[in-house]
Each structure stands twice: as C-alpha cells, then as structure tokens.
Amino acid sequence: MSIKRVWVEDDCISCGSCESICPEVFEVIDISQVKEGVVFADFEAGITDAADNCPVSVIKFE
Ligand code: SF4
C-alpha cells in the first residue's frame, strides 16, 4: 500500500500519541494536524502505527 492522503477527523482529544509515534507527519497544536508537504509513502509504518494507537480512532489514511 502506498499512502496518498492522511487526515484527522473531528473529536481528536489532543492526547499527543500520534505526534510521539510519528512526529514527521503529525503535530498537535490545539488538536492534531497533518503536516504539509510530507511524502506519506516515506512514513507508512509510523502513520499506521499512529492510527492504530489513536484512542478515539480519528486518524484516517488512504
Ligand atoms: S492520537 Fe488521536 S486523539 Fe491523540 S492527538 Fe493524535 S489524533 Fe488526537
């Protein structure tokens, strides 16, 4: 799989887990945001790991 798009749906609780797991892609400023200009294919393990560990399952990718 090659990840082309990553986004965070509503209801992020700002726990910081995604930024801890994959700071190259996620940045928690108030709520989690996906950094601009990232080549997602380079960080697929981190993205899937962050999504699996989000306590409210709001990290999505395709
Ligand atoms: S892991 Fe989920 S709830 Fe926690 S900051 Fe990231 S998107 Fe928000």
- What's the pLDDT score for residue 6? 98
Note the pLDDT of residue 12. Answer: 98
- CA distance linking residue 38 with residue 11, whole number of Å: 23
Domains of the chain: 6-61 (3.30.70.20)
The pLDDT, as a whole number, for residue 10 is 97
* Test site for ligand 1: of 6, 12, 34, most ligand atoms within 8 A of the Cβ: 12
User: Ligand 1 centre from 43 Cα, in Å?
Assistant: 17
What's the whole-number mean pLDDT along residues 58-62?
98
Distances (CA, A) of 26 to 18, 21: 6, 9
Q: Residue 33 pairs with which residues in a beta bridge?
A: 27
Report pLDDT digits (tens) over 3-58: 999 999 999 999 999 999 999 999 999 999 999 999 999 999 999 999 999 999 99
